[in-house]
Structure 1
């Protein structure tokens, strides 16, 4: 069995690790982070063997076959200055936004690279991960990568690398769009005079319930319903929902939202130095 390491046990790194321990033998999982507290948490809560945990990522790199880079993209170049291990036979899976395969190859001097973009929903094993690999990654190594990605959600193998920047804007940042709408609905409930507790419950349960309806509808055996189908089902002619949606359309809410996603895409490109 291949040995898998994660460098960086932040929110995403920990979420991925939490999923991996359910699908892989923990004796084959390794972690590295500069925070002793995060390492202690992984040992205590996820039962990662103490001997598989390192403060110095070079110690981890000596042990593993596949390494997941879960560090901040802004820290990548500085990170590479401290690598002391030859990585040529390793497979690197990057979850760094805006860091291309070409850039990873340039700084790490390796050929086997998988660039991916999961999202925060990995915390509940509901992430959507888009990924693409360099041509040197074997079919077997791709299958292992798929198993890793499927341990915390669903995956899509992309045909072109520039699709990663688009997926980053759509799915990588997507949870924040959902949370923002929840926040706005909660603020309006407060404005209407509901207590903070009531306002939060109104907003959160409304959106959580709606997401579950969409999930159930998506899995209908006969004819799955789309989000547009469900929106239309809620919208009665001359009713309150129609009034709200009409106001949004007249004030170009859809256009504003689309432009915001474009801003996220451009930022992903900028982070890659384009």
Structure 2
């Protein structure tokens, strides 16, 4: 299958690299449509694929991946061949909007996140009713090449996932920053603080994934009465960490819905 990836940024490259690594595409069958010439040169050198600033290859592809910013959809000028699948990873942009923009019924909407760059992504996706079983299988294979994927039957849940797994890495990175600063303030050298914090967050996430226990149960297991963890958690509760995270998700969800425009 010939594929055109429109947008050669971080996420477009992640999908490209994952698909080539899994053998979903061959380099000769992929064209990246990218407006920045220096970026085109980088992608050609790294993956042996064709890269162009022209939208023409969209018309020859059986799969068109829209990996541009939501605000750039209007700049994508090109036809999509009948029967091709459009897979969009543009935050907030609804299936109906994409269908109208390209006069094309076969659209999958997905929301991966930045850990996809190391094949550790989390993607929620859904499909228009016209999308065939075979096309859904292609979407699942492609998204599975960059990490874990979950199909949702309600497009609104993609906006919800955008606020959680899409924006979530930024929340985690902010927490990592804060934990490193805390470590430094009590006397740890920054390099050691960074190593301790990053591995702690990684290990905690893996433990949460594999233990079969809820986050509340795991937190309780670490927290001894009147101990060090209890003292630290008390300060986090005083600072309304829990409420702030909840409100962050609510705000990101509202913005995702806003980006989609009127329903």
TM-score (norm 2): 0.92
Query: CA offset at residue 215 of structure 1?
Result: 3.9
Q: Is the 8 A contact 2:93 2:259 kept in 1?
A: yes
Aligned length: 260
* 1:58-97 alignment, distance < 5 Å: 58=56, 60-77=57-74, 79-80=75-76, 82-83=77-78, 85-97=79-91
Pick the aligned partner of 1:122 from 105, 116, 127: 116
* 1:27-38 alignment, distance < 5 Å: 27-38=28-39
1:192-221 CA distance string (max 9 Å, x none): 23333233223222212322333443xxxx
Equivalent position of 1:184 in the other structure: 178
* Distance in 2, Cα, partners of 1:253 & 1:103: 36
Pick the aligned partner of 2:222 from 213, 234, 238: 234
Larger mean CA deviation between 184-193 and 7-16 belongs to 184-193
Q: Is the 8 A contact 2:5 2:64 kept in 1?
A: yes
Secondary structure of 2:261 counterpart: coil
* Distance in 2, Cα, partners of 1:161 & 1:245: 36
Secondary structure of 1:62 counterpart: helix
Pick the aligned partner of 1:54 from 46, 52, 69: 52
Secondary structure of 1:237 counterpart: coil
* Distance in 2, Cα, partners of 1:208 & 1:154: 16
* Distance in 2, Cα, partners of 1:22 & 1:153: 13
Equivalent position of 1:220 in the other structure: none
Equivalent position of 2:251 in the other structure: 263
Q: CA RMSD in A?
A: 1.7
Secondary structure of 1:9 counterpart: coil
Query: CA offset at residue 234 of structure 1?
Result: 1.1
* 1:107-186 alignment, distance < 5 Å: 107-186=101-180
* Distance in 2, Cα, partners of 1:87 & 1:238: 66
Whether 1:8 and 2:7 are equivalent positions in the alignment is yes
Equivalent position of 1:194 in the other structure: 188
* Distance in 1, Cα, partners of 2:29 & 2:220: 49
* Distance in 1, Cα, partners of 2:133 & 2:33: 27
User: Per the alignment, do residues 106 and 233 of structure 1 end up closer, same or farther by CA in structure 2, a change over 3 Å counting?
Assistant: same
TM-score (norm 1): 0.89
Secondary structure of 1:210 counterpart: helix
* Distance in 1, Cα, partners of 2:20 & 2:40: 15
Secondary structure of 1:267 counterpart: helix
User: Per the alignment, do residues 207 and 36 of structure 1 end up closer, same or farther by CA in structure 2, a change over 3 Å counting?
Assistant: same
Query: CA offset at residue 251 of structure 1?
Result: 3.8
User: Per the alignment, do residues 94 and 170 of structure 1 end up closer, same or farther by CA in structure 2, a change over 3 Å counting?
Assistant: same
Pick the aligned partner of 1:207 from 171, 182, 201: 201
Query: CA offset at residue 76 of structure 1?
Result: 1.0
* Distance in 2, Cα, partners of 1:32 & 1:255: 42
Equivalent position of 1:221 in the other structure: none
Equivalent position of 2:19 in the other structure: 20
